[in-house]
Amino acid sequence: MFSAIRTVSILVLATLLLLGCSSLQGQNQTLYKQLGGQDGVSALTRQLLINMAADDRIAPRFRGVNIGKFKTGLDTYLCSITDGGCVYGGDSIKTIHSGYNYTATEFNALVENLMQAMETLQIPTATQNKLLAKLAPSYQDVVYQ
């Protein structure tokens, strides 16, 4: 009887340890890996662009923009700020947005589109929050510049 209880206890303990280790492993991954690496970031920017194109609040701001170049730059930028090993060599966020006088409403619409893209791709909430925290400081470099 004690042998069976002991065996079950050991199995339960081993399972809990393995589950605990696997969740810690996810916490130690870079944000880039948590987003799915290159494929995940590319899917995210693709879905973001789809959402933006359908959003009348901001779509007009992107008429005439080279979307391929925009997407490539955004992919690289996201890779660099999420510790994916990429080096973003483009202009600063402030320089890129200078002169466009984007409003807080437009910025918030873009954030909503990003959040919808992450939900569509079923990115875990904790990972979404980490990415949003990385991007939040750009507000001051985008709005009313």
Q: pLDDT, tens digit, for every residue of 50-71?
A: 999 999 999 999 999 999 999 9
Scan for tokens 């991007």, then name that residue.
135
2-12 mean pLDDT: 46
Residue-level pLDDT at 91: 87
Show the DSSP H helices in the chain as ranges.
2-28, 31-34, 37-53, 67-81, 93-97, 104-120, 125-135, 139-142
Burial category of 51 from C-beta neighbours within 10 Å (exposed 0-12, middle 13-18, buried 19 and up):
buried
Q: pLDDT, tens digit, for every residue of 85-118?
A: 999 988 888 888 888 889 999 999 999 999 999 9
Q: pLDDT, tens digit, for every residue of 128-138?
A: 999 999 999 99
Angle between helices 37-53 and 104-120 (to 10 degrees): 130
Q: Please tell me the distance from the alpha carbon of residue 61 to that of residue 65, in angstroms, as a whole number.
A: 9
Residue-level pLDDT at 12: 42
Which residues have C-beta within 8 Å of that of residue 16, sequence separation ≥ 6? none
* Boundaries of every domain in the chain: 31-142
Q: Does domain 31-142 correspond to CATH entry 1.10.490.10?
A: yes
Is 97 annotated in a binding site? The answer is yes
Q: Please tell me the distance from the alpha carbon of residue 130 to that of residue 31, in angstroms, as a whole number.
A: 7
Query: Cα–Cα distances in Å, from 33 out to 1, 28, 68, 83?
Result: 46, 10, 23, 9
21 or 89, greater pLDDT: 89
Flag whether pLDDT at 4 surpasses 70: no
